[in-house]
Amino acid sequence: MSDGLASTPRRTRFPRTGSRCHNRCMAPEPSGPRPRPSRYASFAARLKDAHAALRDPRIPASSHAELSKRVFAITAMARHDITAAAQRLEAFFAELSGLSATGFGAVPGNPPGKNTATQG
């Protein structure tokens, strides 16, 4: 007489092969000079740098939104043309370094860090 429950299959136990022996069969790492990273890997590392630069709290919200959109557009472009995306990314970094030199959104005639609103 069945109670309506299907019998569960027995669990099989895999044979023990020793402690951590699965790594012994792997080929050792080649010695000598490592190959140069591909252009995709170097672009990905540079794109990580761009995202890290956008986390700078000194960037004003208005500039941050525009810069974020540019980085996302560069990311989307990389799916189709990595060379053009790399050129745009370098142009982005050039503009970002220009912004940081002027104090992230400061008026170009005023030195960064100087509050001109309280000077009279």
**100 found inside a domain:** yes
Comparing 64 with 30, which gets the higher pLDDT?
A: 64
* Conformational region of residue 114, where left means phi above 0, alpha means psi within -120 to 50, and beta covers everything else: beta
pLDDT surpasses 80 at 24: no
pLDDT band at 17 (very low <50, low <70, confident <90, very high): low
Which tops the pLDDT comparison, 31 or 95? Answer: 95
Task: Quote the domain boundaries for residue 88.
Answer: 66-105
89, 43 contact by CB (below 8 A): yes
Flag whether 86 is in a domain: yes
CB 116 within 8 A of CB 110: yes
Please, are residues 87 and 73 in contact by the beta-carbon 8 Å criterion?
Answer: no
What domain count does the chain have? 1
Residue 71 pLDDT exceeds 70: yes
pLDDT tier for residue 100 given thresholds of 50, 70 and 90: confident
DSSP notation for 36-101: PPPHHHHHHHHHHHHHHHHT-TTS-HHHHHHHHHHHHHHHHHHTT-HHHHHHHHHHHHHHHHHHHH
For residue 72, being part of any structural domain is answered with: yes
Does residue 53 fall inside a structural domain? no
Domain-embedded: residue 91: yes
Mean pLDDT (the chain) is 75
